[in-house]
Amino acid sequence: MERLPGWVRRHLAALRALLVLTLVLGVVYPLAVTGLAQVLLNHRANGSPLFRDGHEVGSELIGQSFTGRDGAPAGRYFQSRPSAAGDGYDPLASGASNLGPEDVLDVLPRSGARPDTGRQSLLTRVCARSKAVGQLEGVGGGRPYCTVDGVGAVLKVFPVTGTPERVVSANQACPARPFLATYRGVTVECARPGEDLSAGRTVPVRGTAVAVVPADAVTASGSGLDPHISVAYAELQAPRVARERGLGVARVRELIGEHTTGRDLGFMGEPVVDVLELNLALDRG
Instruction: Please state, rounded to an integer, the average pLDDT across all residues of the chain.
Output: 91
Average pLDDT over residues 271-285: 93
pTM over 0.85: no
Residue 51's pLDDT is 83
β pairing state of 154-158 and 201-204: antiparallel
pLDDT in tens, 164-188: 899 999 999 999 999 999 999 999 9
Look at phi and psi of residue 119 and say left if phi exceeds 0, alpha if psi is from -120 to 50, else beta.
Answer: beta
Provide the 10 A C-beta neighbour count for residue 66: 16
pLDDT in tens, 124-135: 999 999 999 999
Say if CB 174 and CB 192 are below 8 A apart.
Answer: yes
Say if CB 64 and CB 80 are below 8 A apart.
Answer: yes
- CA separation (Å) from 46 to 34, 41, 43, 49, 272? 10, 9, 5, 7, 23
Residue 190's pLDDT is 95
For the chain, the maximum distance between any two Cα atoms, rounded to a whole number of angstroms, is 97
The helix/strand/coil state of 135 is helix
Question: In whole angstroms, what is the distance from residue 235 CA to residue 243 CA?
Answer: 13
Question: In whole angstroms, what is the distance from residue 110 CA to residue 113 CA?
Answer: 5
Distance of CA 16 to the CA centre of its chain: 50
* Residues contacting residue 146 through CB under 8 Å, at least 6 positions apart: 123, 126, 127, 130, 131, 152, 153, 207, 209
Question: In whole angstroms, what is the distance from residue 238 CA to residue 88 CA?
Answer: 23
Rounded to 5°, angle at Cα 67 from 150 and 126 = 25
Question: In whole angstroms, what is the distance from residue 80 CA to residue 184 CA?
Answer: 42
pLDDT in tens, 112-123: 666 667 889 999
Residue 111's pLDDT is 67
pLDDT in tens, 230-270: 999 999 999 999 999 999 999 999 999 999 998 887 788 89
